[in-house]
Amino acid sequence: MILSNIIAQKSLTTIIAPHGITDIMHAREYNIVNRLYEVNAGTIIVTHFLHMGHLTDFVNAAFLLASIVHFRHDMPVVKNIPRFALSATMIPVFALCPATFFVYMLLIHVPNHYRMNWKYIASNLGKNTAILGIFTLLSAIGGELFFYYLMNGYMMDIMKSVVIAHIIYEETFIHNHHKPNILHEINGSRVEEL
């Protein structure tokens, strides 16, 4: 059991957590880094106040709902079965057998995430690979510190808020096929992209 916990922890900090850094690549590509920061800061602040108000059930509910929304992108298209429904069925499985969560993340979600975000990674492959490598190293080191020194209810809620922010950003700015116009700043002038 100890070995499986170590493997889960290492995979979480070195493979699973770093995949969210692609949000920065996307935000830089479309010059909306401030929007990314706003989503992250807002989600963390709301989570902080929910935790302080002893309303962590709301944090957990938001985390589960966001996970269902996020994981639907990995689900196959099955006639007459919404992808949300397929995604929702995985949550109890993950709760009953946490090992299935790690297998799913490592073999399905993370590879699919990189596939879906490849155009943002490839647009500046050298720099983005370096960013991913640095973030993976920091996550591996920071993850060790987190698990040994900072593991408590408050920090778990804050980590959930980071995941929720990742999902909000992706649903709003990456997966939204009916995107509002995004304004870009190029050489000091505002350019509108559809």
Model confidence over 120-171: pLDDT tens digits? Answer: 889 889 999 999 999 999 888 887 777 666 778 898 899 999 999 999 999 9
Residue 186 is predicted with a pLDDT of: 43
Instruction: Please report which confidence band the pLDDT of residue 10 belongs to, taking 50, 70 and 90 as the band edges.
Output: confident
194 pLDDT above the threshold of 70: no
Residue 125 C-beta-side C-alpha neighbours within 13 Å:
3
pLDDT score for 183: 47
d(CA 34, CA 39): 9
Say which amino acid occupies 8: A
Flag the least confident range among 23-27, 55-59, 151-155, 157-161: 151-155
Average pLDDT, the chain: 85
Q: Give the integer Cα–Cα distance in Å for 191 and 181.
A: 10
Give the residue among 32, 30, 36, 20 at the shortest CA–CA distance from 123: 30
Contact call for residues 23 and 169 (beta carbons, < 8 A): yes
Residue 57's pLDDT is: 95
Residue 36 neighbours by CB under 8 Å, 6+ apart: 23, 24, 27, 169, 173
Q: Which structure tokens are listed for 150?
A: 């900072």
Half-sphere exposure of 129 (CA within 13 A, CB side): 5
Listed in sequence order, the residues at least 6 apart from 159 whose beta carbon sits closer than 8 Å to its beta carbon are 146
pLDDT of residue 193: 43
Residue 56 tokens read as 């962590």
The terminus-to-terminus CA distance of the chain in angstroms comes to 51
Decide if pLDDT at 1 tops 60: no
